[in-house]
Structure 1
Amino acid sequence: MKKLILIAIIASSFVTLSFSFYYMLKIYQSDLSMSSSAGEPMVPKHEERIVIISQEQGSFMMNAIQKGAHEAAEEHHIKIDFWGVYRSNLEGLIKQIDIAIASKASGIVVEGVDHPDFNLMVKKATEKGIPIITINSDAPSSLRKSYIGSDHYQEGIIMGEYIATQLQGKGVVGVIKNLSSPSTDDLRLKGLREVFSKYDGLKIVTAANDPEMSQPKMQTNDILNHYPNVTAFIGLTTESGESIVQAARSRSRTKEYPIFLFDDSPQTIMLIKNGQVKAGLSQHYEDMGILSVNLMKRWLDATQLPLENSYFTPISVVTSSGEKEKALENHSK
């Protein structure tokens, strides 16, 4: 009996010693690991955070920008947040920027608005040491660090030359505008007018300058009512094609109205393939997203200070062939 008790005690002691040895070994390995990496700083996976804010959250344009930005953020190991309003809303957009400033974002990329209230918010961010880059639409009078996107004036030139060729230098062209965000459309219209001025047979007409004429379909009907000799339409607003087509179709003369658009949304591409729209314009939104993150990273790393005033992304005419005919390469200004 005593012998059995002795064996049990020895076995118990052996088990205890084994566990003690095991835990001592783990502690030693942990200490060794800490010692070997003592000279290497602990770098957080997402040390920097960029907030991208849109006036048209959920749109084709913004989804493409976000795709490109996310790709670049992954490459740079930067955390990125996508915020915005779902309808063009200056008050809501400014509120989003203010929240991003309060959250201490490393940098903010936002669709610009040429408005004093927007400029004041950019100034506030600058004073807090938060750089702001505008994307897709600019606010040139603000303290933004740079603008990334299409040269909207050149868009008008490129599309104007294409339309003039398609119409053989003749026709009355109805222009559909975005009344809530006129600055971008004003630049496009300036380019169109410059090209059309070279042709005696080309004339631009627009709907009545009335806030109630905000919808593309209403503008199209107003032009048809006041200019019965109109021969073609240009939609400056994004995704306005279907409204223009419907209004023209209601007059039973759809095929007589070549329609040109300044976007290449899936809806526009379908209208082009169906022959209801003559051509669209691609602004390469993914390129904007990629470039915005890359340039913000350069600013945050102080590897390129200051940035160029503007970085223009490519512009392409999209035709019924489904191919994008690149008309303008990247350039800075």
Structure 2
Amino acid sequence: MPDTTAPKDSRRSDKSSDLNTQLRIRAAWLYYIEGMTQSDVAKKLGVNRIMITRMLSEARRRGEVVIRIKSPIAPLIEVQNQLEERFGLRGAIVVPCEGEEDDPTRAIAAAAGAYVTDIMKPNLTVGVGWGRTLHTMLPYIEGRPLDGVRVVSLLGGIAQARRFNPAEFAWQFAEMFDAEGYLISAPAIVDSAQTKHALLEHCGLDQILEMAESCDVALLSCGGISALTTSYRLGHVSEAERQSMIDAGAVGDILYNFLDVHGDPVPHPVNERSISLSMERLMRVPEKVLISGGPEKTDIMLATLTAVQPSVLITDEATARRLLDATDI
């Protein structure tokens, strides 16, 4: 009688696969159904947060997680068309938002994750900014190995180990596509214009910015200048500097380029000390995707739309209507 018993190694492999599947599905359940954060899921399951991000992406890729949205979309399509016409966009993606005061970050991030998943292809060079919305986007991206992809951070990092570190975001994004990552190994804001010049000219950082300038696509988010937004909450800019920038006319920043309501850089020392892709260089990137929303960002989004001229805008319905109302003169 032939021996039909599976080899021991095969049985161990099957058991390991079953355990991995159970862990992945449990992570997806806790995150999508129970609404836990990735950090809380990681603690509950006894793994690190990066592993949770990968498992959630894998669950989406395998079709184990399917998100369905049932809602009349005609009004959203109309708003998208108006945004495209008003701001010269190639495309606009507007997600539903229940009310003016609701935080639209996760909804915007989900739409952005689907969009980024679709545009990723081999030999693409992607420049990435930073911020809460971009960070929240990571679980909604379906990662996969792609040949020749390069990911370039568009600004320096921060010394503290924080959730919204630009270098951490760029690294995680690169990992999702087995891509080469290029980081700017300097703080996002240094102590003087002289220090900035020395770092760019003598430490090779300008080579990274030159690579960033030649990106195929840049993924961007902008921040308002209220005390609650990411940059100031993390202490990159002092309260005195923040107030003096407001006095100089700043309404927020994109890649630590602080802009006025017209989209022009404000005359302030902080703009001379930031190590990031300049507005002039950013304009040379052919495809720019602005991913932002929320009531505190209306002014800086208007300024960014003017200054950066993005190809695609991904935002929420309430923000979209504020942008249209502000320009409906």
TM-score class, shorter-chain normalisation, is under 0.3
TM-score of the two chains, using structure 1 as the length reference: 0.24
Pick 1 or 2: higher relative contact order, CA cutoff 8 A, min separation 6. Answer: 2
Structure with the largest fraction of strand: 1
